[in-house]
Amino acid sequence: MKSPRTIVASLAAVATVASLAACSTGAGGESGKLELRVATFPPGADAAAYEAFEEQEKQFEKDNPDIDVVGVEYEWEGPTFAAQLAGGSLPDVFTVPFTDSKTLLENGQLTDVTAEVEELGYADKFNPVILAEVQDADGNIFGFPRQAYAMGLHYNRDLFEQAGLDPDSPPTTWDEVREAADAIAEATGKAGYAQMTSNNTGGWQLAAAAAARGGRIQEDNGDGTYTSTIANPGTVAALEFLKQLRWEDESMGSNFLLDWGTINQEFAAGNIGMYTSGSDVYTALVRDFSADPDSYGLTVLPLEGEDAGPLGGGDIAVISPSVSEEEKAAAVEWIDWYYMQKLLDEDAARRDAEALVASDQAVGTPVLPVLDEETYQQSREWIADYINVPLDQMSGFFDGVFDQLPVGEPKGSTQEIYALLDPIVQAVLTDPDADIDALLEKADADAQALLDGE
Amino acid sequence: MTTIDEAPVLIDSARTPPSDAPPRARRRRSPATWLSGGGLANLLFLAPTIVVFALFSWSPIVQSVVMSLQRTNLITWEWVGLDNFANVLADPLLGTAVLNTLWFAVLALLFGFPLPLALAVLMSEVRRGKGVYSALAYLPVVVPPVVAVLLWKVFYDASPTGLFNTVLGWFGVPPQTWLQASETAMPSLVLEATWAGAGGSVIIYLAALLAVPPELYDAAEVDGAGVWRKVWHVTLPQLRGVLFVMLILQVLATAQVFLEPFLFTAGGPNNATVTVLLLIYRYAFQNSLGGDYGEATALSVMLAIALALLSFLYFRLTEKWSS
């Protein structure tokens, strides 16, 4: 029986098993340190961003010698997030937008950190409206709200100048936005105004455009049910506005399949005059898309009609539910150190700002307070000397935003409804005969079916 | 050397057992005789293959069939029977996706099927530098698909300064919308897919053409046949087997088109390029919170069954010609 064939076959079998076994044994905790994988910046960030992070990592590891922090490239994107979640490839610490926190929490996909937040002593310092985003019915806390934003109007100062417009007095009404867009397109051949339309961002920005005109795409009935109100005058006005820019003025360029990444790319490349997005996008524009800070401008969204407000949102630092107790403790340590202390502690704030400035990263990007107003203003004073974003080019935003009452994102089946609205925005921009009323009626019915189905 | 004439026999062998297969009712073998007859060695020899196939090929298939009967977010599981199938069939977007996929398949057959064949026939006539032409034809296949899409996105830029539009401008043709309008989006995707995929087919056809006995051409020439008659009466019949296989492979591939609509248009504009596979992807992933893996697998299972049926029908219908 010991023929050469048997021996060869046995060797082959052993080799296979051995190689499979080798695959499954991952990198263990070498040097006895606890390895903590944390989300850093999106793929494609420049070398300076890595340097800044490395610096922060070193500082943290000096204070916490038994934790080995490993930065993992991470960007929250609707489709890839689900894949990462399903595939178990999310870092131990990552961030999610407010819109997803509730569902993740209900699905048991987040770690309870109530005791830790209380121990750190800032459970009552959070803006309660924002803290509610990460609490279950019993008031348990499942994450650290770390940053909030309101929608703003981002514009390219260079294109404004080329079109003979004054970049220091940006448009304040939608009619002025339209005129400016037309002038830019006329003078430069670039898109005067652009809008996201793909990968759920079409719905997101349509909800924002509707809210800025007093419309809401959904009503919260307060008992866990929601009523779809997509076909409201605000949404109609928002789509009519796009239709006029696209077909009457032809001031929206030629690309109507943009999402968060591609619109930022186009804007950073100087191909877009104006677009709406979260006020905090400056960091990403400059750091990840190499936008020229000198040509950047930010102002508040024009608000028209009753109840109009800028759509707001934000994100939350959370811990994967698959971590061990020690990893959880380390993760809390990291979140507190990396995200929270710079809002609470003068030394931490300065240290963070210093590290960022040293590697040419943005400090002072316009965000909204997640902690109480007083703590927020205080934290901005601490870092006043380090702020390197062009604040005077954002004065339109800073001067106006605290007078605007932010509108929360719709809560029921948010991303699914955003996905449902993408093709509507696309239809208006690619089909001159698109019937806005009919499209919205249908979307309303479809959205209600989604909401009832839950 | 294998001639193309044998190719249909190859297909045939999948249906009928080879004649030298052992008769079924042989004497019962005890484990001892199995062992002494080298059974263990055979098994050990096969073990790596069996393990790899079971682990990476068969178990996902079984799992996905199981999952199509469940509602799951991959953390909690619940049996729902055929609900997933019912939900998928009730989705108004399914019809759009199926029609779009068929439209893609039809366009791909129109552009993508004859083109590589024509190229291969032309190239096989070239006396010198055949290798260079083959390499050139194969080049797009070497380009990573995502890179190819990014490249073509630049070509398809809908502004008058886009690459294709600039070229059209030289001939006084106004700028086209390419990916930015419902009517032109799908043909644009097919054009890129054809460019990206033609090289592989060209190589296969070239190999098949090499196997055509030159005597047949000589005989046809003696009978006074011109180029077209030679292609029609000698080349095509000789390539029949390969053509059948390539056609079914192409139909299977186009039914599963995903990369192009996903990367070029994300299904837009206005759902004009949503394909069945993109819909499956959306069920599973679009909703950021891990939507309906059950529904996604249910649609996958339906697609797999449809394609299996199609292949079966295809081989049944072509049996007459291939035997």
**Which residue in chain B has the smallest CA separation from A85?**
B290
Of B44, B179, B265, the CB nearest to A10: B44
Which residues of chain A neighbour B181 with C-beta distances below 8 Å? Answer: 430-431
CA B272 to chain centre: 21
The dihedral sign for the CA sequence A118, A122, A128, A129: negative
Judge whether residue B244 has pLDDT over 80: yes
CA–CA distance, A448 with B94 (Å, rounded to integer): 19
Judge whether residue B69 has pLDDT over 90: yes
Q: Among candidates A62, A72, A134, which has minimal Cα distance to A97?
A: A134
Q: What distance in Å separates residue A323's CA from the closest CA in chain B?
A: 15
**Which residue in chain B has the smallest CA separation from A424?**
B270
Residue B40 binned pLDDT confidence (cut-offs 50, 70, 90): confident
Residue B297 binned pLDDT confidence (cut-offs 50, 70, 90): very high
CA distances from B157 to B34, B70, B162, B273, B309 (A): 67, 43, 4, 17, 40
**CATH code at A151-312+391-451:** 3.40.190.10
Do A108 and B159 lie within an 8 Å CB cutoff?
A: no
Q: What is the DSSP pairing of strand A191-193 with strand A34-39?
A: unpaired
pLDDT score of A122: 81
Q: Determine which of A2, A17, A250, A255 to mutate to test the interface with B (most B C-beta atoms within 10 Å).
A: A255
Of B44, B75, B288, the CB nearest to A107: B75
Residue for token pair 């296969």 = B204
Q: Is the peptide bond before B269 cis (omega within 30 degrees of 0)?
A: yes
Do A419 and B287 lie within an 8 Å CB cutoff?
A: yes
Q: What residues have CB less than 8 Å from B14, skipping those under 6 apart?
A: none
Residue B321 binned pLDDT confidence (cut-offs 50, 70, 90): low
Give all domains of chain B, ordered by start, each with its CATH number: 83-318 (1.10.3720.10)
CA distances from B308 to A125, B66, B252, B305, B315 (A): 61, 19, 9, 5, 11
Do B75 and A108 lie within an 8 Å CB cutoff?
A: yes
CA–CA distance, B113 with B117 (Å, rounded to integer): 7
CA–CA distance, B5 with A142 (Å, rounded to integer): 68
Q: Determine which of B156, B274, B288, B295 to mutate to test the interface with A (most A C-beta atoms within 10 Å).
A: B288
The dihedral sign for the CA sequence B307, B313, B319, B322: negative
Q: Determine which of B59, B287, B293 to mutate to test the interface with A (most A C-beta atoms within 10 Å).
A: B287
Q: What distance in Å separates residue A2's CA from the closest CA in chain B?
A: 9
* Per-residue model confidence as pLDDT tens for chain A (454 residues): 344 454 444 444 444 444 444 443 334 445 678 899 998 877 777 787 888 888 889 989 998 999 999 998 887 776 677 777 777 788 999 998 887 887 788 777 888 999 888 888 888 888 887 888 888 888 889 999 988 889 999 999 999 999 999 999 999 999 999 999 999 999 999 999 999 999 889 999 999 999 999 999 999 888 878 999 999 999 999 999 999 999 999 999 999 999 998 999 999 999 999 999 999 899 889 888 889 999 999 999 999 999 999 998 888 999 988 888 999 999 999 999 998 888 888 988 998 888 888 877 888 888 887 888 788 888 889 999 999 999 999 999 988 888 888 888 888 888 889 989 999 999 999 999 999 999 999 999 999 998 987 5
Q: What distance in Å separates residue A351's CA from the closest CA in chain B?
A: 35
Over residues B140-169, the mean pLDDT reads 91
pLDDT score of A75: 79
Q: Among candidates A452, A438, A433, which has minimal Cα distance to A230?
A: A438
B290 at interface of A, judged by CB pairs closer than 8 A? yes
**CATH code at A4-148+324-386:** 3.40.190.10
A window 414-453, beta carbon within 8 A of B = 415-416, 419, 422-424, 426-427, 429-431, 434, 446
CA–CA distance, B128 with A20 (Å, rounded to integer): 48
A12 at interface of B, judged by CB pairs closer than 8 A? yes
Q: Among candidates B158, B161, B166, which has minimal Cα distance to B184?
A: B158
ipTM of model over 0.85: no
Cβ of A347: how many Cβ atoms within 10 Å?
10
Q: What is the DSSP pairing of strand A67-72 with strand A218-220?
A: unpaired
pLDDT score of B3: 43
Q: Please, are residues B120 and B206 in contact by the beta-carbon 8 Å criterion?
A: yes
Token representation of residue A193: 């105004």
Q: What is the DSSP pairing of strand A272-278 with strand A191-193?
A: parallel
Q: Out of A402-416, B16-30, B203-217, which region has the weakest mean confidence (pLDDT)?
A: B16-30
Half-sphere exposure of A201 (CA within 13 A, CB side): 24
A window 241-300, beta carbon within 8 A of B = 253-257, 259
Q: Please, are residues B195 and B140 in contact by the beta-carbon 8 Å criterion?
A: yes
Residues of chain A with CATH 3.40.190.10: 4-148+324-386, 151-312+391-451
Do B293 and A86 lie within an 8 Å CB cutoff?
A: yes
pLDDT score of B28: 66
B285 at interface of A, judged by CB pairs closer than 8 A? yes
pLDDT score of A17: 45
B window 68-127, beta carbon within 8 A of A = 73-76, 92
CA–CA distance, B140 with B216 (Å, rounded to integer): 33
**Which residue in chain A has the smallest CA separation from B41?**
A6
Residue B318 binned pLDDT confidence (cut-offs 50, 70, 90): confident
> What's the per-residue H, E or C state across chain A?
CCCHHHHHHHHHHHHHHHHHHHHHCCCCCHHHCEEEEEECCCCCCCHHHHHHHHHHHHHHHHHCCCEEEEEECCCCCHHHHHHHHHHCCCCCEEEEEHHHHHHHHHCCCCCCCHHHHHHHCCCCCECHHHHHHHECCCCCECCEEEEEEEEEEEEEHHHHHHCCCCCCCCCCCHHHHHHHHHHHHHHHCCEEECCCCCCCHHHHHHHHHHHCCCCCCEEECCCCCEEECCCCHHHHHHHHHHHHHHHHHCCCCCCCCCCHHHHHHHHHCCCEEEEEEECCHHHHHHHHHCCCHHHEEEEECCCCCCCCCCEEEEEEEEECCCCCHHHHHHHHHHHHHHHHHHHHCHHHHHHHHHHHHHCCCCCCCCCECCECHHHHHHHHHHCHHHCCCCHHHHHHHHHHHCCCCCECCCCCCHHHHHHHHHHHHHHHHHCCCCCHHHHHHHHHHHHHHHHHCC
Four-CA torsion A19, A23, A25, A27, nearest 10 degrees: 130
Judge whether residue B6 has pLDDT over 80: no
CA distances from A286 to A44, A389, B230 (A): 12, 10, 63
CA–CA distance, B187 with B273 (Å, rounded to integer): 10
pLDDT score of A244: 96
Which residues of chain B neighbour A419 with C-beta distances below 8 Å? Answer: 282, 286-287
pLDDT score of B25: 54
pLDDT score of B226: 84
> Which amino acid type is present at position B146?
V
**Which residue in chain A has the smallest CA separation from B38?**
A1
Instruction: Kindly report the backbone phi and psi dihedral angles of residue A389, in degrees, each rounded to the nearest multiple of 5, phi listed first.
Output: -80, 150
pLDDT score of A125: 84
Residue B66 binned pLDDT confidence (cut-offs 50, 70, 90): very high
Do A198 and B36 lie within an 8 Å CB cutoff?
A: no
**Which residue in chain B has the smallest CA separation from A102?**
B289
**Which residue in chain A has the smallest CA separation from B160?**
A254
> What's the per-residue H, E or C state across chain B?
CCCHHHHHHHHHHCCCCCCCCCCCCCCCCCHHHHHHCCHHHHHHHHHHHHHHHHHHHHHHHHHHHHHCCEEECCCCEEECCCHHHHHHHHCHHHHHHHHHHHHHHHHHHHHHCHHHHHHHHHHHHCCCCHHHHHHHHHHHHHCCHHHHHHHHHHHCCCCCCCHHHHHHHHCCCCCCCHHHCHHHHHHHHHHHHHHHHHHHHHHHHHHHHHCCCHHHHHHHHHCCCCHHHHHHHHHHHHHHHHHHHHHHHHHHHHHCCCHHHHHHHCCCCCCCCCCHHHHHHHHHHHCCCCCCHHHHHHHHHHHHHHHHHHHHHHHHHHHHHHC
A334 burial (CB, 10 Å; 0-12 / 13-18 / 19+) is buried
**Which residue in chain A has the smallest CA separation from B36?**
A1
Which residues of chain B neighbour A78 with C-beta distances below 8 Å? Answer: 285-288
CA–CA distance, A332 with A328 (Å, rounded to integer): 6
Instruction: Kindly report the backbone phi and psi dihedral angles of residue B233, in degrees, each rounded to the nearest multiple of 5, phi listed first.
Output: -95, -20
Long-range contacts of A53-62 (CB under 8 A, 24+ apart): A55/A355, A55/A358, A55/A359, A56/A338, A56/A352, A56/A355, A59/A351, A59/A355, A60/A334, A60/A337, A60/A338
Instruction: Please tell me the pTM assigned to this model.
Output: 0.80
Of A82, A109, A254, the CB nearest to B285: A82
Q: What residues have CB less than 8 Å from B259, skipping those under 6 apart?
A: B145, B146, B149
**Which residue in chain A has the smallest CA separation from B270?**
A423
**Which residue in chain A has the smallest CA separation from B162?**
A254
Which residues of chain A neighbour B290 with C-beta distances below 8 Å? Answer: 82, 85-86
Residue B22 binned pLDDT confidence (cut-offs 50, 70, 90): low
B45 at interface of A, judged by CB pairs closer than 8 A? yes
Q: Please, are residues A66 and A36 in contact by the beta-carbon 8 Å criterion?
A: no
B window 241-270, beta carbon within 8 A of A = 264-270
Which residues of chain A neighbour B293 with C-beta distances below 8 Å? Answer: 86
Q: Please, are residues A74 and A39 in contact by the beta-carbon 8 Å criterion?
A: yes
Do B270 and A20 lie within an 8 Å CB cutoff?
A: no
